[in-house]
Amino acid sequence: MSSSYQSLEISSREASSAALLNVQQDDDDSTRPATPLVSSVPSKWRIPSTVRIVLLSSCAALGGFLGGYDTGIISGATLYIQDEFSLSNFETELIVSGVIAGAVAGGLAAGKMTDIWGRKYVIVGASIVFVVGAIIMSVAGGWGLLLVGRLIAGAAVGSGAAVPVYIAELSPPAIRGMLVNFNAFFIALGQLVSYLVAYALSDSPDDPHSSGNWRLMLGLAAVPAVIQCFGMSLMPMSPRYLVQKGRTREAYDVLASVRPSKTTSEELESEVESIKQSLSHVVDEVPFKEMLVNPEYRAALAIAVGLQVLQQFSGINTIMYYSATILRMAGFPSKSSAILFSTFIALANCFGSLTAMRLIDRTGRRWLLLTTLVGVAAGLIILSTTFHVLSSGAVEGTVLATGDRVGQVSGVSWIALLSLVLYVFFYAIGLGCVPWIIISEIFPLEIRGKGAGVAIAANWFTNFVISITFLTITHLITPAGTFLIYAGAVIIGWVFVYIRVPETKGRCLEDIGGGSIVFAAH
C-alpha cells in the first residue's frame, strides 16, 4: 500500500472550495448545492486509514476464520467422534455435512437480512449464533445433539455472505481485491489453526481406543466468535447501506475515514453521488424472482453462482473435511500422524492465500483464475493416479484405497501428500479467493445482498452434496475415480471462466454493477 493511506482529516483548503456540499436531487432530476454534508471527520476515526481499513477487514473476516476452523477441526475430531458414538459412514457424513446444511439456510437468510439490518449487524448476529452452536457441540451427549449444534453453527457460517460484501463496500477500489481476499485468507488461517489444535489435543497414537479431546476441539471455536462480536460492534456501517437508507451524512463520514489522505472532498462527494445514482432507478425492493427475469441481474447471478459451484466441485472441502481420513487411506497409519501431516495442506492454503493477496490487484481476477485452474486440475490428476497405484496393490504395505486396513507409509503415500499440497496451493491462489471477490463486486447495489446470499447458498448446497456423498462414492468408485471426476469438473470450469467471467480489477462497484460488464468476458 502507498504511504498516502494515512490519517484523514478534511483540510481547510478542501473545506473552503465549495466542497463538502451534499448534492441533492429535485423532483425534476436537476441538482443543486445543499448545506454542508459534514464539517469534519469524527474524531473517533482519526487514526491512520491504512490501519483502520485493515482492522475493519480483519474483524469482519473473522467470520471466514470461523468457517475455516470448523471445516478443518471436524477432520481431526471425526476420527474420535466415530469411535465414541460408533457411527456408520452415513452418520459420519451427516455430522460432517450438518454445518453445511445449516449454512445453506443461513446464506439465503443473510441475503435478505443484510438489506434490512445492514451488513455489520448480520455479522454481529452470526457470531452470537456461532457461539451457541459451538457450546452445544462441545457438550453433546449423543450424535443427534451434536448434529443440532452443527446445524446452528452452520447457519452462522452461511451468514458470512455478508462479510465480502461489507469489506468490498468499505474498500478503496485500488486495493479492494486484496482486502476482500482477507476473507479467503482467514478461512485458510482458520483451517491451519484447527489442524494445529486438533494435533495438540489428539491422544497418544499408541492407544487405538483413545477418544481425543474432540469436545474441546469443537468448543474452542467460540473464542474467535466472541472476539468478532465485540469487535464488529465498534465498526462502522457500510456506506452503501447507509445511502440506501437515506443516511447520506453518515455514509460520507465513513468513506472519508477509510480513504487516503490525498482524497479530495470532491472525490468523496462524487463517490457518494455515484452510490445515490445507482439507486435512483430503484423504486421498490427487488424481489428474488426479478433476479431471474432481468437480463443484467440474471447474468451477474450466473457468474456468481457458477464460480461458487465450481469452487465446490473442485472437491476442496472434501479434502479439508476428510484430509486426515484421506491421508490414512494413502498409508499414514496413526490418527495423530494423519492429523499432523494435514497441517501441510493447511499451510499450503495459507501461503496460497497470501500469494493471492499480492497478485489479485496486479494481475486481475480473470487471469488469476484461468492460470491457477490448470494447477488445480494437475494436482487432482496426480492424486488420482497415486490412489490408483495404491488400490492396485502395486505398493506393498500401504492401506487399501477404501481405508479398510492400515499399513505403512510408502513413497507413493508421500506423492499423494505432495499432490494434495500442490492442489490446495493453486486452489488458494485462484478458486479460493476470486469467487468471494466476484460476488462482492458483480451485483448492482439494489440486489447485492440478495445476490451474494443466493451465491453463498449455492456454494453451501453444492458443498453439502459433495461432502455427504464423499465416503460413499470413494467406496463405490474408489478415491482414484472420485478425484478424477473433480479434475474433470475443474477443466469444465476453466471453459466457463474463459467464456463468462469478466475482469473487474480497478473498477468502482457502481461501474461493475452498471450492467454491460457482466456480458463482456473477453
pLDDT tens digits for 363-400? 888 999 999 999 999 999 999 998 888 776 544 433 44
pLDDT the model gives residue 12: 33
The chain-wide mean pLDDT, for the chain, equals: 79
Main-chain phi, psi angles of 36, to 5 degrees = -55, 135
Please check the confidence at residue 169 and state whether its pLDDT lies above 90: no
Q: CA 373, CA 422: separation in Å to the nearest integer?
A: 12
Long-range contacts of 38-45 (CB under 8 A, 24+ apart): 38/10, 38/249, 38/252, 38/253, 38/256, 39/10, 39/15, 40/9, 40/10, 41/8, 41/9, 41/10, 41/253, 41/256, 41/257, 42/253, 42/257, 45/8, 45/236, 45/253, 45/256, 45/257
Residues linked to residue 116 through DSSP beta bridges, in sequence order = none
pLDDT the model gives residue 7: 35
Q: Are 126 and 156 in contact (CB under 8 A)?
A: yes
Question: What mean pLDDT do residues 106-111 have?
Answer: 82
Cell of 76: 481431526
| H-run or E-run covering 24 | strand 21-25
Question: What mean pLDDT do residues 90-109 have?
Answer: 84
Q: Where do we find the cell 448534492? A: 23
Q: CA 412, CA 418: separation in Å to the nearest integer?
A: 10
Q: Are 407 and 333 in contact (CB under 8 A)?
A: yes
pLDDT the model gives residue 46: 52
Q: Of the ranges 2-6, 136-140, 173-177, 385-389, which one carries the lowest mean pLDDT score?
A: 2-6
Strands 31-36 and 21-25: antiparallel
Q: Where do we find the cell 475493519? A: 56
SS3 content of the chain, % helix, strand, coil (to 5): 75, 0, 25
Q: CA 46, CA 66: separation in Å to the nearest integer?
A: 30
Q: CA 474, CA 195: separation in Å to the nearest integer?
A: 23
**Amino acid letter, 209:** H
Name the pLDDT band for 108 (thresholds 50, 70, 90).
confident
Name the pLDDT band for 304 (thresholds 50, 70, 90).
very high
What's the DSSP call for residue 35?
E
Q: Is the dihedral of CA 251, 297, 442, 288 positive or negative?
A: positive
pLDDT the model gives residue 50: 73
Question: What mean pLDDT do residues 289-311 have?
Answer: 88
Q: CA 127, CA 35: separation in Å to the nearest integer?
A: 39
Please check the confidence at residue 8 and state whether its pLDDT lies above 80: no
Predicted structure pTM score: 0.72
pLDDT the model gives residue 372: 96
pLDDT the model gives residue 148: 94
Q: Evaluate whether the domain defined by 45-235+281-519 bears CATH number 1.20.1250.20.
A: yes
Q: What is the largest CA-CA distance in the chain?
A: 82
Name the pLDDT band for 509 (thresholds 50, 70, 90).
low
| Cα-to-chain-centroid distance, residue 62 | 10
- Which one is predicted more confidently, 40 or 334? 334
Main-chain phi, psi angles of 261, to 5 degrees = -65, -25
Name the pLDDT band for 518 (thresholds 50, 70, 90).
low
Q: Of the ranges 90-94, 214-218, 380-384, 429-433, which one carries the lowest mean pLDDT score?
A: 90-94
pLDDT the model gives residue 146: 93
Question: What mean pLDDT do residues 251-278 have?
Answer: 80
| H-run or E-run covering 454 | helix 445-500
Rounded percentage of the chain residues whose pLDDT exceeds 90: 25
Please check the confidence at residue 405 and state whether its pLDDT lies above 50: no
Q: Of the ranges 39-53, 83-97, 503-517, which one carries the lowest mean pLDDT score?
A: 39-53
Q: Are 423 and 320 in contact (CB under 8 A)?
A: no
Q: CA 500, CA 305: separation in Å to the nearest integer?
A: 12
pLDDT the model gives residue 17: 32
Instruction: Mention every residue, 6+ apart, whose C-beta is less than 8 A from residue 511.
Output: 517
Please check the confidence at residue 16 and state whether its pLDDT lies above 80: no
Please check the confidence at residue 1 and state whether its pLDDT lies above 80: no
Q: CA 313, CA 321: separation in Å to the nearest integer?
A: 14
Residues linked to residue 21 through DSSP beta bridges, in sequence order = 36
Question: What mean pLDDT do residues 446-451 have?
Answer: 80
